[in-house]
Amino acid sequence: MIARVFNFIHDLGHSITSRIDRLGLAARFAGLLLLALGVSIRRASLIIREVYFSGVRSLSIISVSGLFVGMVLAVQGYEVLQRYGSAESLGVIVALSLVRELGPVVTALLFAGRASSAVTAEIGLMRATEQLAAMDMMAVDPLSRVIAPRFLAAIFSMPILAAIFSVAGVFGAWIVGVQLIGIDDGAFWSQMQANVDVRIDVLNGLLKSIVFGTAVGLISVFEGYFAAPTAEGIASATTRTVVISSLSVLLLDLVLTVMMFRGLS
Amino acid sequence: MNRSKFDFAVGLFVAIGLLAMAFMALKVGNLAGFDSGSGYALEARFDNIGGLKVRAPVKSAGVVVGRVESIGLDSETYEAVVRLRIASNYRFSKDTIASILTSGLLGEQYVGLESGGDPVYLAGGDRLGKTQSAMILEKLISQFLFSKAAETPAKSQ
């Protein structure tokens, strides 16, 4: 009995210290990555290639999801709003929830699943097949040649994708609200414009997505770079990227929302 | 895929992204409309502002002419100090009355400005002399009840 309690406490301690250990590793890795950014940022062609694979190729899933999310918001929002006789506010509700929250957050979640998992698998396989070690041998710094461009591409792509998501969502809400349900077109747009503030809502939303891009990008390259060089190791690293990215995006969203929007109203 | 094709695809991606951001700024938000940084400030003091909030509209004859910039309390006189930011293309005379009104029965509260006949116009930083406080529903009801209560004994005689 005592041995079992002892074991339990031992395991608990071990799981906590190993997590702190890994957090420290991630922080040191982020520091090294920051140093490598200076070299990497001058080689735009590498970043452009990664923006193509992470950002451009995510365009279809982002715009289609945005459209559907906007449509669903319009249907649900209308259902509640018409009970209070203010169906014209649909534009405001949809636009504010997309621009402030759903645009950045859902984009980051989709990006983590669509692009970051691929980045982790790619870097993990490079590690497993010793391509990174080979680069090191040729005096090519893998951090600035392989890791930094993928990290920068995530930061760069995220706000663009979030903006496209929000616009697709507003368009979807317009299709459902104005074209199908028959809310007045003018009221839909004018209420939206009167209540969405460019600085407070739009810019804060984009700022959020830049923060999410940084977090998701860092997690994906970190998990790939330190993946165990086996098939199983790459598989678990890819899973961890998606899980940790999603959780940290949601946690960061809470923190950022409280910081940005609490003082209002 | 060669490099120029990457460049083209990414260029298109960035262009679409910029268009989306411009759409959000102009069509979803309202950058072209009243900008909270410009215009001139006016100060109005109210006994009670009710549910007025920062960023609430300032209207004159129903037209939005500015926004509420900040709300504070003067700890000497216990009056609410409301700073209004008015778009620079609107001018109001010195004897303008500011009142706190409600749009609709349960709508948001806003500041209404009613210009008077004074030929001198208000300049930035001026204080509005005449103000009318928000209608507080509870006070209204209690006033009504008191006046009813005052009437009843007269009727019973």
Asked, for residue B147, whether it belongs to a domain, the answer is no
Express each pLDDT in B93-130 by its tens digit: 888 888 888 876 666 788 888 888 888 888 888 888 78
Question: Torsions phi, psi of B71, nearest 5?
Answer: -130, 130
CA atoms within 13 A on the CB side of A16: 6
Is the CB of B27 less than 8 angstroms away from the CB of A164?
no
Asked, for residue B26, whether it belongs to a domain, the answer is yes
How far apart, in whole angstroms, are the C-alpha atoms of residue A83 and residue A10? 57
Contact A94, A193 (CB under 8 A): no
Could you tell me which of A199, A201, A200, A176 has the C-alpha nearest to residue A91? A176
What average pLDDT does this structure show over B56-62? 85
Question: Torsions phi, psi of A257, nearest 5?
Answer: -65, -45
b/e string for A146-182 if b means 16 or more Cβ within 10 A? bbbbbbbbbbbbbbbbbbbbbbbbbebbbebbbeeee
Share of chain A above pLDDT 90, in %: 70
Q: Domain segments of chain A: what residues?
A: 2-261
What average pLDDT does this structure show over A127-133? 91
Question: Does residue B23 share a domain with residue B47?
Answer: no
Note the ipTM here.
0.80
Separation in Å, CA of B74 to nearest CA in chain A? 21
Asked, for residue B14, whether it belongs to a domain, the answer is yes
Handedness of CA A94, A95, A99, A100 (dihedral sign): negative
Separation in Å, CA of A263 to nearest CA in chain B? 10
Residue B124 touches partner A, C-beta closer than 8 Å: no
Residue A95 touches partner B, C-beta closer than 8 Å: yes
pLDDT at B31: 62
Question: Does residue B87 share a domain with residue B125?
Answer: yes
Rounded to 10 degrees, the C-alpha dihedral B27/B32/B34/B38 comes to 140
By Cβ distance, the residue of A48, A164, A196 closest to B10 is: A48
Asked, for residue B83, whether it belongs to a domain, the answer is yes
Rounded to 10 degrees, the C-alpha dihedral A127/A129/A132/A134 comes to 160
A117-128 vs A148-174: helix crossing angle, rounded to 10: 160
> How many helices (H) does chain B have, and how many strands (E)?
2, 8
pLDDT at B149: 84
Separation in Å, CA of B109 to nearest CA in chain A? 12
What average pLDDT does this structure show over B132-153? 81
Question: Does residue B116 share a domain with residue B65?
Answer: yes
State the CB neighbour count (10 A cutoff) for residue B48: 13
pLDDT at A214 over 90: yes
Residues in chain A with CB shorter than 8 Å from the CB of B31 are 198
Question: Does residue B53 share a domain with residue B14?
Answer: no
Nearest CA in chain A to B22: A163
Range among A80-84, A157-161, B9-13 with highest mean pLDDT value: A157-161
How far apart, in whole angstroms, are the C-alpha atoms of residue A148 and residue B6? 18
Name the H helices within chain B: 3-23, 137-156
- Into how many domains does chain B fold? 2
Asked, for residue B117, whether it belongs to a domain, the answer is yes
Is the CB of B28 less than 8 angstroms away from the CB of A164?
no
**A residues 11-70 closer than 8 Å to B (CB):** 45, 48-49, 51-52, 55-56, 59
pLDDT at A44 over 90: no
Nearest CA in chain B to A168: B20
Asked, for residue B18, whether it belongs to a domain, the answer is yes
For residue B65, give the H/E element and its range: strand B63-74
Q: Which of B16, B23, B24, B85 is the best substitution to test chain A (most A C-beta atoms within 10 A)? A: B24
Asked, for residue B110, whether it belongs to a domain, the answer is yes
pLDDT band at A199 (very low <50, low <70, confident <90, very high): confident
Asked, for residue B157, whether it belongs to a domain, the answer is no
Express each pLDDT in A165-191 by its tens digit: 999 999 999 999 999 988 888 888 878
Contact B116, B95 (CB under 8 A): yes
Question: Does residue B71 share a domain with residue B14?
Answer: no
Question: Torsions phi, psi of B68, nearest 5?
Answer: -75, 125
Question: Does residue B73 share a domain with residue B48?
Answer: yes
Question: Could you tell me the residue range of the domain that residue B134 belongs to?
Answer: 40-142
pLDDT at B33: 53
Nearest CA in chain A to B104: A86
- Average pLDDT over chain A, rounded to an integer: 91
How far apart, in whole angstroms, are the C-alpha atoms of residue B52 and residue B33? 22
Separation in Å, CA of B8 to nearest CA in chain A? 10
The β-bridge relationship of strands B63-74 and B57-60 is antiparallel
Separation in Å, CA of A189 to nearest CA in chain B? 7
For residue A23, give the H/E element and its range: helix A2-40
Residues in chain A with CB shorter than 8 Å from the CB of B64 are 194
Give the global pTM: 0.76
pLDDT at B9 over 80: yes
Tokens of B149: 């209560």
pLDDT at B156 over 70: no
- Mean pLDDT is lowest, of A70-84, A108-122, B57-71, for B57-71
Is the CB of A197 less than 8 angstroms away from the CB of B29?
yes
pLDDT at B154: 57
By Cβ distance, the residue of B6, B36, B54 closest to A52 is: B6
What average pLDDT does this structure show over B11-22? 90
